[in-house]
Chain A
Amino acid sequence: MPRAEKEANVILAKLGVGMLCVTVTAGSVALSEGLVHVRVHEKAPNGTHLSLVVPGVLAPAALFCIPQRHLQQASEQLRPWMPAIQAAVDELKDEQDMTFVEVVQGEQHVRVSKSGGAVVVDVDDPRETVHVSTPLRAIGSTLEELASKSDQPIAQ
């Protein structure tokens, strides 16, 4: 094999290893807070069927896309409850899987539970079925980010 070709192969191999490292690192960061699952199934004919899987790490980042003025009030209301929420999130991580709230009324069924490291909300009514699973770590960091919004001046 000519020397130039050999060198090119070495450079390509290094690039490949570099790309692999970047991909693995990006994947690890993206999955570090788990995945948010949202599933909506409208029961009507031609109804919407939506299934969304988003890395939890993007949830706090999504708050940057919402105008500050819309977050200010929510942030102020949330702030006094943050220590309690953080304590609950920390404690829930060690709890066994269980159902916290279950409501059955008529044909409506709502359940809030903990499954694995995520809080799961299931709603089933005659019109639609909704399933939202949010990792606890993502809940903690998102609410922390939201609570910190009341510090910042409102952009005019």
Chain B
Amino acid sequence: MKINQRTAVALAMAAIVAAVLLVAGMGRARAANAPDRYLHVRVDGATAGEKACVNVPLSLAEKVLPAINHGDMHGGKVKLGNLHTGDIDVHAILEAVRSSPDNEFVTVQQADQDVRVAKSGDNLVIHVRSKDAGKEKKSQQVDVTVPLSIVDAVLKNTVDNEIDLNAVLRALENGGENFLVDVQDSDQTVRVWVDGKNDPN
């Protein structure tokens, strides 16, 4: 069978279009299969069964935050109060912490509370234990685990008292599996974490 020049050009064009569509489709499929990360906040009350859960896909937050231009938030950045570190080079301190072996860096023991800051693997771990001091102040337990990559993202993206929340979200997306905030007191338990499940239950 003889194929004339016009048919050959048409076939070649069709093959190119098919290849482009295939590549575009594969790209989309890959993007669709990329695992999404979710920020979960769960508050459990003292009464059994009492709870409040908030689940936010990080990709959603990443799209929405830059669109908020209100109050102290502009283009995905939030203005903090006066954040003076004086002459302290926090980046150098973080680098020193990162390269040092697992260790307990700060231990403060007071009459009403104990504070402990340590490095464990690639995470910064903070434990605060408040002791029961009568009616005014009840005992409280705070445990925070922050991957150093997230601390790094916060520090690198804080310029002129402004934190780039999107950079922090990206860091959470890439290495937030170990991020955990856990606050417990006699009235409630609050837990904040990141994982790949859209249902935290």
Residues of A within 8 A of B (CB): 80-81, 83-84, 86-88, 90-92, 95-96, 98-106
Contact = CB atoms under 8 A, between A and B. Distances in A.
A84 B68 contact: yes
| Chain B CB within 10 A, most for which of A81, A84, A101 | A84
Nearest to B49: A104
B198 A96 contact: yes
Contacts, number: 61
B50 A92 contact: no
Contacts of A101: 52-55
Interface of B: 36, 38, 45, 47, 49-57, 59-60, 63-64, 66-70, 198-199
B60 A95 contact: yes
Nearest to B50: A105
Contacts of A103: 51-53
B63 A90 contact: yes
Contacts of A98: 38, 55, 57, 198-199
Given A101-B54, A106-B50, A84 B64 contact: yes
A84 B74 CA distance: 11
Given A90-B63, A100-B56, A103-B53, 19 more contacts: A81-B70, A83-B68, A84-B67, A84-B68, A88-B60, A91-B60, A91-B63, A92-B60, A95-B36, A95-B59, A98-B38, A101-B53, A101-B54, A102-B52, A103-B51, A103-B52, A105-B45, A105-B50, A106-B50
Nearest to B200: A99
Given A80-B69, A99-B199, A87 B53 contact: no
A135 B173 CA distance: 28
B66 to A, nearest CB: 8
A84 B76 CA distance: 11
Given A81-B70, A83-B69, A91 B55 contact: no
B63 A104 contact: no
A99 B52 CA distance: 12
The 10 tightest CB contacts between A and B, nearest first, are A83-B67, A98-B198, A84-B67, A87-B67, A91-B63, A102-B53, A103-B52, A84-B68, A87-B63, A91-B60
Nearest to B45: A105
